[in-house]
Structures are given as C-alpha cells and as structure tokens.
Amino acid sequence: MTESTLFLIAFILYGSSAAFYFAFLFSEKNIWAKTGYKIIFTGFIIHTAALVLRTLESGHAPFTNMYESLSFLAWCGAFAYVSIEGKYKIRKAGPYFILIIIVFMAIASSPLMPKEAKPLMPALQSYWLWLHVSVTLLGEAFFAMAFVTSIMYLIVEPKKTARLKQNKGLTPERLDFISYRCIAIGFPLFTLGGLIFGMIWAYKAWGRYWGWDPKEVWSLITWFVFALYLHTRLVMGWKGKRSAVIAVIGFLAAMFTYFGVNYLLAGLHSYL
Amino acid sequence: MKSMIKLFSSVKLAIFLLIVITLATILGTLVPQGGSPEAYKEKYGDGAAVLINLGITRLYQSPWYLTLLVLFSTNITTCSLTRIKPKFNKAFKPQVIIEEKKFNALSLKKIFKSHQPVPRVKGNLKEILKSKGYKIREKSEQDRVYLLARKKFLGLFGSDTVHLGILIVIIGGFISGAAGSRDNLALTLEETKPVPGADFSLKLNNFETLYYPDGSVKDWKSTLSIIKNDQRILTKTIEVNHPLSYKGFVFYQSGYGWNWRNPQVEIMIGRKTENPFSESVRIKVGEKALIKDKHIEINPMYFVPDFVLTEEKKVTSRSLEPNNPAVYVKAIEKGELAFSGWLFLKYPEFNTRDSQVNSNLSLKFKDFKAESYSVIQIAKDPGVPFIWTGCTFVMLGLFLAFYYIPRELKFMIKKESQKTKIYGGGIVKKAKDSFKEEFDQIILSFRESK
C-alpha cells in the first residue's frame, strides 16, 4: 500500500461520509448520520496511516510542501469533526464541514501540487517544524469548524421561528455555543503553535523572533480578529449574528494567512 | 486624571483600538515595507512621497503605529487594574454569608430537608466537597451555619494574566527595537574578526557545506571559536537552526560563499594526437605559468563559477554557486599563440578554442580551488527574555481563562423544627453541564451519607 493509495482511499471515504450525512439531512433518519460518522472515522484512521507512511518514506514531518500541508490540514479537520461530533452531537453541521475537508483534499490532489517528497532545506530541519505546523493547523481546523457553525447560524437564525421545531438538536443558540467552544479550543492552539512556536523557531533559525514577514503579520491579524471575537462576546455580551460574522472573518483571515500570503505576498515563508 | 482612567479602562476603547491596529497592520502588508525611495517612486509615482511621509513604507516602525501600540498597552493595563480589585476581593475576601432569599436567584440550587442534626450535615457536606477538590470557608450565626466551597478560583485571573503577558511582549518588542543590534560577519577559513560592540573576537576554524544526493544543500556548518586576549575561550560548531550563544550575543549561520576573484585552477596539458594528458599545472587565475621543457606558457585569464551566455553572446555568471565553472585560458608555445578559449569543468565536450590558432596543443580544466567564506549573523537582543516571559504568561492565562473555570458553591444549614433545612446553590457562567452534574452528585452523595 503506498501513501498515495491510502490518501485516495481516505479521500473517497470522506466523500462517501459527506454523502451519507447529506442523506441524513434530507431523510432525517439517524442511521444515515451514524453510518456517516463511522465512515469519516475510518477515513481518518486511513488518512493517519497515509501520513505515517509519508513520514517514514521521506524521513521528515509530513507538511513541508503544499500537498503535504493541505493533506495534514484535512486530517486535522477530520480530527476536529470526529472529536466535536463525539462531544456535542452536531450531526447537521457534519455534511457542510466534511465538504471543507473534501475541498482541502481536492486541492491537495490537484495536479498543480507537486507531490514528490523533496529533501528538507536547511532552515526547515528542526523539531520546531513539527511543533509549529501541527499545532497551528490543528488550531485552524477548529476555526474551520467554528466557520461552518457560524455560517449555519447566519442562515438559520433569520428563519428561527419557522424552522426552530425541525431543528431539534441544533438550534441557533446551540450553533452559537458550538462556534464559541471551537474558538475556545482553536484560539489557544493557534496562539501557541502559530505565534509562540513560530517566534521561537524564527529566533532559532533566523536570529529574530519577529520580522514583520507577511506570513507573520497575517497570523497576527488572524489572532487580532479572534481576540476581537472573544472580547466583544465575553466582555460586551455580543452573541449570535455579530459574533458569527467575526468568526467567519477570522477563518477567512486564517485561510489567507495559510494560502493567500504564499501566492500574493512575497516573504520568507515562500517555501510554504 | 479621573476621566483619563475612565477612558482607558473602557473595553469599547480597547475594541476600537484593536480594530484600528488590525486595519493598520493589514495596510502594512499591502505596501512593500522597507524599500528604497526610488523603488516606491517607480511603483507609485507621485504617491510615493505621501506614503513615505506618512510612514507607511516603514509602517511597523512608524511613530503613529508605535503610538497605537502604546495606547493599546495603556488601555489593557488600565482595564485589568481597574477590574482587579473586585476580583481580588472575590478571590481572597469572599462573602460567606448569604441571605436565604438570594438562593432563589442562583442558577444552580437545591433546597431540601434532612433528619441529620446541623453539625452532622455540616461535617458530611464538608467531607464530600473536599473530596471533590473544594476549599471551604465557614461561618456560624445563631442557629445556622454557612459554607462557602470554591475551587479553581485562580481562573478568575485568566484574562489579566493574558493581558500582563501581552504587555510584557510589547515591552520586549520596544526593547528589541531600541537596543537590539544585528551584524553580519563574513569570515574566511582561519580568519579572526572582532565582534562589533564586544570585547572578544570570532574565529572561523572550519566551514563545510553538506549536500543531499540530488545536489541540493542539506546544511552549512561553521566551527567557531570565541577569542579573548588571544585566548580561545570556547569552540562550537554551529549550523542552521543551531546557533551559538555567548554573553548576550547569538551567532547564526546565515550565509556562505566563495571568493571568486582569483581562484586557483588546475589545467591539464596534452596533445591532440596523444592520450591521455601528460602534464598538469596549478595556477591562480590572472597569473602565468611556464612549463620550461616544453616552452609553453599557460595563462588562465577569466573565471566564472556558473557560466552562461547572455542574449548578446556575452559571458556572465548565472549565480555565485559553482554550478558550471569555466575558465578562459590563453596558451603560448614558443612565442606563438597556441590556444585561446573557454574550458568547462563539467562539460569538456563544450570547450571552445579560437579557430584561427593552428596548434595541436590540448587543454583540459580539471579542478579549481576558491577560498570559501561563511557569513555569521551576530544578534544581540536584550528584548528576547521579555518575549519568552510574556508568551509564557499569555499561554498560562489562556489556559486559566478557558480551562480552569472557577466554581463556587454556597450552603446554608439551619435547624427547622425537628429537621435540618439545607439551602445549596451556585452561579454558573461557563461549562454549565459539567458543573450541574457535579452539583447533583454532591447532593446525591450527601443524601446517601449518614
């Protein structure tokens, strides 16, 4: 079994899981959602095997180019969903969130992404690569989760009265609460992995902990947006719509940091 | 003064500043930072002067951006300070006594009766609460006893700890900006140079570049010695990601290169009719070597490490890496030009020679030796300890704020006719479900107690 085969199997499983979850949305039969959950869980396990195999083959962390890091981000997404669904039962958010995982997997497998494992350039040879990237992307996966529940909130909330009864398990209040919980997990992870571990590594590799490199600046901007989310919510009591809008902006900022900066702004992080 | 404190303790101001700082920070990524005035002139035309004068081309160092940071720091400090006193009182001088009717307002409550006498109820409750990790304060008043059970109350200070951390990070940043320095020192082998601003020197003992099998660079390693008063104090091999620290200075492997001005080349000499080459000579570029018995004079005139022809058919070097080393050689035999042309180290089949020259002399470029140097970045940054301290506080504070949520339960136990009446309850702000579960368990455990 090669890494690319395992990756493909995981991709197919994520796709089928989404299909089952959509079937659940329309049929409202729990069995579909339960099966969907089992499938995404299996996909997650197989994806884990793919990442382990990749690590063994290349001899370095499985996130040193865009293909690897997207695959890892999708894996973090699967982890986030499996754990949040396990704890909070948010089946109705399942199909939409798995779609995001599928988007990451699809971009990763696009022919534009070079897939061969290359030897690591000197600056990347550090255990901080593991710590910095894995913790940051895990944090971003939880931001993605909050993004989905926030978007759902913004769609469901205006129709509140009409559809409240149908939406038994996932009322707007519940969506709002789950967005907050996901950010409460994602924000400390992103602070630790993205900013603090990033600073420590930059200090070790480049001799400065902060250099206003575009990627650094955009992680700071992302951090500001989520700080705004927390303060408006916890101190000023904003909830619901305005909170959801900030959570959406925060995730878009995170994605711009992750993706956009590489292609639109030049900087030291240009290798990834 | 009072109105200033009021202004700076406002969360609205904090949010306003946070939004302004975010927008300003974004602006800095839209305009390239730290370029030359000419470059801006070329890109923005007449707008360049405006950008430069407003400090947008060095935005993160500009007075107005730094002012925003100072205002923000003042704001979060004042916010935390004005809110900390009530928190301290709540944490260290808590109210143990609670009025009967206030129990009704608590979000978590249970009012029930027990056959146990008041002291036994108190003892049992205290034991159960202690087993759940609660710290207990009590007060007695005539016929009734009050219990205040709390745990994790350090969680109250989560946000203050984060703010303190951010403040320390910002202070560290200002110190780095004001007192930090960075220099590059290029050292060739065995060379010793004084470290700027220090009373010691740095010597490069050894330098090597390690390659992967595919030819890409794996690592650079420099063996450095700290020299003070002609004494070797310490020696360490540094590489990328593994710098050397000494007395507040940190030495990084930041670059490398070769001195291409006059490398030594090895040229093999032979005849077209003979094979193999019979002789070789080592000589520096720009110098001449005479092979006496054959009356041949070899003169390597130019050297390029990475040969490439421009569109105008001019020779130049594509890079400073020895990817395609080539040397232009002239040879004179018995007073006549016997060879002139480019010799390639890696591709001898592409060697050129002047077609006008009629000689059977054959030359081959065999090897070269150039002096390599290592570039060491020397950083001195007294702000760094502040940054790590601040980051530690930020993480500790985030943990406290999100995952160390204070719990507080109040009880009142009083005698009522032949029975004992118990009021219990608490306020839930975060993590409702698990707190409620714990509270129910406590009540259940009590009912089972004897």
pLDDT digits (tens, 9 = 90+) for A81-121: 999 998 888 888 999 999 999 999 999 998 888 888 788 88
> Per the structure block, which two tokens stand in for B75?
């704001």
Contacts with B252 from chain A: Cβ below 8 Å: 206-207
String of b and e for B218-254 (b: at least 16 CB within 10 Å)? bbbbbbbbbbeeeeeeeeeebbbbbbbebeebbbbbb
Q: Which of B12, B43, B246, B391 to mutate to test the interface with A (most CBs of A within 10 A)?
A: B391
pLDDT value, residue A231: 92
Residue B370's alpha-carbon distances to B209, B320, B325, B415, in angstroms, are 14, 12, 11, 97
Q: Residue B100: what pLDDT?
A: 81
Per-residue pLDDT of B18-66, as tens digits, reads 999 999 999 998 888 888 888 888 888 888 888 888 888 899 999 999 9
> How far is it, in rounded angstroms, from Cα B165 to Cα B73?
11
Spans of chain A below 70 pLDDT: 160-169, 266-272
CA dist., res. A70 & res. A103, Å (int) = 10
List of chain A residues whose C-beta atoms are within 8 Å of the C-beta of residue B388? 200
B176 interaction partners in chain A (CB closer than 8 Å): 209-210
User: Is B408 in a helix, a strand, or coil?
Assistant: strand
* Pairwise CB contact (< 8 Å): A221 & B26: yes
Write out chain A residues lying below 8 Å of B243, CB-based: 204, 207
Yes or no: say if B401 and B412 are a contact pair by the CB < 8 Å rule: no
In B, minimum Cα distance to A221 occurs at B22
H or E segment at A225? helix A214-234
Structural domains of chain B, ranges and CATH numbers in brackets: 2-85 (no CATH), 94-152+405-448 (3.30.310.80), 163-258+374-395 (no CATH), 260-370 (no CATH)
Nearest residue in chain A measured CA to CA from B244: A204
Which of B12, B19, B394 is nearest residue A191 as measured by Cβ atoms? B394
Contacts of A207 (CB under 8 A, 6+ apart): B182, B243, B250, B252, B254, B377, B379
Question: How many Cβ atoms are within 10 Å of B173's Cβ, its own excluded?
Answer: 20
Question: Who among A125, A207, A210 is closest to B182 (CB)?
Answer: A207
pLDDT band at B101 (very low <50, low <70, confident <90, very high): confident
Contacts of B218 in chain A (CB under 8 A): 119, 122, 125
B278 in Cβ contact with B291 (< 8 Å): no
Instruction: Indicate which of A196, A199, A218, A269 best probes the interface with B, i.e. most B CBs within 10 Å of its own CB.
Output: A196
Whole-number Å distance between alpha carbons of A215 and A198: 10
ipTM higher than 0.90?
yes
Give me the pLDDT at residue A160, please: 60
Q: Which residue of A has its CA nearest to B61?
A: A212
- For chains A and B, count residue pairs whose Cβ atoms are closer than 8 Å: 98
What pLDDT shows up at residue A272?
43
- Greatest CA separation found in chain A? 59
Whole-number pLDDT of residue B189: 87
Q: Do B252 and A118 touch (CB under 8 A)?
A: no
Give residue B4's pLDDT: 83
Q: Say which residue, B254 or B194, is predicted with more confidence.
A: B194
A268 to chain B: which residues are within 8 Å by CB?
Answer: none
